[in-house]
Every structure is written in C-alpha cells, then in structure tokens.
Amino acid sequence: MASSHLLFLILLSVFISTTFSSPSLIRLPTGHRKFGLNDDLYCDSWRLSVETNNAGEWSTIPSQCQVFVQNYMTGQRYLSDSVIVANYSFAYASSVEIATDGKDAWVFDIDETLLSNLPYYARHGFGSEPFDEESFDEWVDLADAPALPASLNLYNQVKEMGFKIFLLTGRSEDQRNATIKNLLFAGYSDWERLILRGTSDQGKLAIVYKSEKRSELVNEGYRIRGSSGDQWSDLLGFAVAERSFKLPNPMYFIA
Amino acid sequence: MASSHLLFLILLSVFISTTFSSPSLIRLPTGHRKFGLNDDLYCDSWRLSVETNNAGEWSTIPSQCQVFVQNYMTGQRYLSDSVIVANYSFAYASSVEIATDGKDAWVFDIDETLLSNLPYYARHGFGSEPFDEESFDEWVDLADAPALPASLNLYNQVKEMGFKIFLLTGRSEDQRNATIKNLLFAGYSDWERLILRGTSDQGKLAIVYKSEKRSELVNEGYRIRGSSGDQWSDLLGFAVAERSFKLPNPMYFIA
C-alpha cells in the first residue's frame, strides 16, 4: 500500500517542482499566467480542455500559447488529428445501413470543418487577437478558403454512400453566394441544402440556432446519422445526431 | 487565391509523404496498423479522438500505442492534464451561487477520477491487455488506490464551498466496504452518499445506470451543478449536470 502512494507523491513532487513556480497545485488557468519553460505542457493541457469542452467560454487563446497554437496548426499535428477524426467518422458512416427513402442525413459545419480559414488566422495571430468581424467578412467574400483535406475526403465518401448532405453554418444569408463559390472552388459539390443564418436567426447562440435547424430536418423526416463540426455548439443542444464528430480547433470558441 | 491553396497542398504532400507509408490519405484506425517512426503522432491523435468521444467503443489501446500511453500516464502530461481540468472545474464551481437549502450537488465518479488505478494498470500493460475482472476486483479489495492529487484538491474545494457531494461509481455494492476504506485512506471524506451498482443495476450500460441515478437525485430536489468523470458515460445520457468535466483516461473505455 505504501509503495504506490509513495510513487504518486514522488511523481507529484517532481511535477510541481519542475512545472509550477509556486508550490500551490491548483491554479486558475484564466488570466495569462506564465509557465516559464513549461508553456508547451500547459498549452497542450489547455488545448485538451478546449477540445473536450472543459474550458467553457473563452475569447482569445492564452497569450503564452500563441507559438504553440501556430506550431500545432501549421505542423503535422493538426492534419494528423483531422485525419484520425475523419477515419472514425468514415468507419461509423460505413456501419450505417442507408435506407432507400433518401432520409439518411449527415450534417457538416463549414468553417474549420469543410473549409480552413488558416490563411486568415495565420495573419491574425492564430486566435490571439480578438475576433474582428469586418476583416473576417472580407476574407469570406474572397471565397479563398481551402478545403480541409481530410474533410473533403470524408465528404465525398459519405456522399458516395448515399447520405443526404446538409451544410449548417453560422455564416449569414448575405454570405450565401461567396460561400457557394468557395465550397465549389474547394472541391465540394452536390449538397442537399446549404443552411445559413436568416434574419430571424441573428443574435441567437450558435448552439440554439443549429439545434433549431437540425430539429427542422428531423421534422421533415430526416434521420441525422452523423454530424461533423469543430465547435461543441455544432454538435450539442437538441435534435443531435446519432454520432457527433468533434474536429480540432484551438484557435477560437463559439457558444 | 492560388497561394493559400498551394500552401495547403505543399503541407499536405509533406504530411502524407512523411507520415503514411502509402499515398492514400484516409485510412481506418481500427486494426493495429503500423505507423513506423510516426507512432507518436498517430497515438497522440488517437488519444485526442478518445478524449473527445470521436472514437466510439473500443476494447484495448492500439498495440503500437502501449509505450505512448505508458509515457503519457507516468510522465508529466497526465498530471498536467488532470490539474488543468481541475482548475476549470474549480473556476466554474466558484461561479455557482450556493443556495441555503443544501441542494446544490456535485457528482464525482471514482475510478480514474477520485482514485487512480495506475498502479494496477502499470502491471497490466496500460490498457493493452483485455480487461480482467477477477484481477481488478482483487486490486479493488486491496483498497490501495492512491488519490488523483488534482481531484483530491478539487474535492476538498467544492466540499468547502458547500456542495453536497455524491459519489457515483460502476463498482458493485459488494465492493462498498473496500471502496469506503480506500476513499478514506486516500484522503476523501464527508461525501453525502456513495452510490454503487445494486442487484437491479447489474448488466445495465454505465451511461444508463448513471443517468438513472442522477435522475433520482434530481427527483429528490438536488440541482446537479457539476459532474466529474473520466468516461463520457459518466457525463452524458439524461439528467446531466449543468457543467460536466471530462478527466483524461487513455487506458480504457466504458460504454
């Protein structure tokens, strides 16, 4: 009994002494406290908390994590994480028996799910700057966002399997043309419906707006078998999909 | 337009050529395929898919990830990830206004949440061996599991704040005495109720059993403000907490 406790205490002591600059174990991650040489360890744990929805609401990435997020997004890990999520999505989709009534649906979010705004965020501090609607809307109008490769592959696979594809985005109706142009240019085609925020959806939390729209699909008789999104607000709420797939995104949070 | 697409194609090419041994981008993560020198990258992405509930059901960790999981569990990362989850839990708990009626509740799972079975799993391949109920029950009877330090700290904090603490575990009623002994020995005290699987709960999925038990608490008038668990089946289902906190656990999965 004593040995396992001792092991834990030793591990804990080493951890505290090498990681934190004061001996108090629990510290609030809010505010941008310094972890000194161990920023990477802190930022990796912060990222896990974001991806598992533990972090709750946040506005910008912790200041000490800008280089970490930049390295993550532009290195192999973001692509690898995206590929593995797509693999699990594909494995699940393959297990669904598609009925002949054309009512088996898959819902995709757009930004950081089908399209990557990494070129925009690379010029805006990888989430370290507060969101600027004006410059982002200009970027959207350019219709220049590349496909997230793993998602384009998954999209074509579920389309091939016979799922009806619904694109459900927080973008506004007045961005419809630019969004269609961008999707087609990035290689996406043959979706069943592209759902954007109309006038009556403005000001709603994304989780409410998206749940309502999924609910309308359910009322039309669709079975939402799967859903892919980079925000938990794409996936949770009501009328949720039978399986939801959370794509990585450590750059921003949408409630 | 061309430049950002080009950047992505270059990144993708580098990624594919350095990571995968064949040029097909999407591959199934099921089966224990080899990633060669890039096992760490694959295993880290696999772990993220487990922690975000993308992976669905699984029985043992991928064989090429045993060293990765061992390093994760015995190194700084598991402790760091646990501390950051506890920090976010504490920040949220601090924001809750505790009423004077004694009905604000916090639900804790036990295994890999309050108590760490790492000494057991270290002797059983860190999740690479199929679950063996007999040897695990013997381990439980020893009442020798240490506290997960960040959780013990959080437990004492939410107790101090005035939350009623409910321990909701998949362990059986016949393990009640050993469980109490272990909890006390590890430093836990003053919980409101310890809920274990009774005869009528045997054979139920954990997500159903735990939802039913939370539902009983709600019917007793408790407001389940927060919940902490290492399995999604601790947190999802019905009668869910206002905020749920997913602790890390890449060693095993419970449906």
pLDDT for position A20 = 40
**Higher pLDDT among residues A36 and B131, named by residue:** B131
Which residues constitute the domain of residue B89?
69-246
| Distance to chain B for A199, nearest Cα, Å | 30
Inside any domain, residue B89: yes
pLDDT for position B3 = 52
Of the candidates B41, B49, B92, the beta carbon closest to that of A76 is on B41
Of the candidates A30, A52, A118, the beta carbon closest to that of B246 is on A52
Tens digit of each residue's pLDDT (9 = 90 or more) over A138-147: 999 999 999 9
At A135, is the pLDDT very low, low, confident or very high (cuts 50, 70, 90)?
very high
Inside any domain, residue A25: no
The CATH number of whichever domain residue B191 belongs to comes to: 3.40.50.1000
Query: What separation in angstroms does the CA of B65 have from each of A91, A155, B5, B44?
Result: 20, 29, 33, 9
At A38, is the pLDDT very low, low, confident or very high (cuts 50, 70, 90)?
confident
Residue of B27, B32, B54 for testing the chain A interface, max A β-carbons within 10 Å: B54
Mean pLDDT of chain A: 90
Inside any domain, residue B19: no
Give the mean model confidence (pLDDT) for residues A168-186: 98
Domain count, chain B: 1
User: What number of CA atoms fall less than 13 Å from residue B245's CA on the CB side?
Assistant: 30
**Beta strand residue intervals within A66-209, DSSP E:** 104-108, 164-172, 193-197
ipTM above 0.90, yes or no: no
Tens digit of each residue's pLDDT (9 = 90 or more) over A42-101: 999 999 999 999 999 999 999 999 999 999 999 999 999 999 999 999 999 999 999 999
Of the candidates B29, B52, B119, the beta carbon closest to that of A87 is on B29
Give the mean model confidence (pLDDT) for residues B74-94: 98
CB B196 within 8 A of CB B171: yes
Answer whether B48 sits within 8 Å of A48, measured CB to CB: yes
Residue A177, pLDDT above cutoff 60: yes
pLDDT for position A193 = 98
Q: What are the tokens at A90?
A: 């594909």
Inside any domain, residue B59: no
What percentage of residues in chain B have a pLDDT greater than 90?
Answer: 85
Inside any domain, residue A211: yes
Inside any domain, residue B43: no
Q: Which of B62, B20, B56 is nearest to B38 (CA)?
A: B20
Inside any domain, residue A238: yes
Residue B14, pLDDT above cutoff 90: no
Give the mean model confidence (pLDDT) for residues A160-189: 98
At B176, is the pLDDT very low, low, confident or very high (cuts 50, 70, 90)?
very high
The C-alpha atoms of residue A123 and residue A135 are separated, in whole angstroms, by 11
Inside any domain, residue B252: no
What percentage of residues in chain A have a pLDDT greater than 70?
Answer: 85
C-alpha dihedral, A49 to B212 to A244 to A197, nearest 10°: -90
The C-alpha atoms of residue A5 and residue B147 are separated, in whole angstroms, by 8
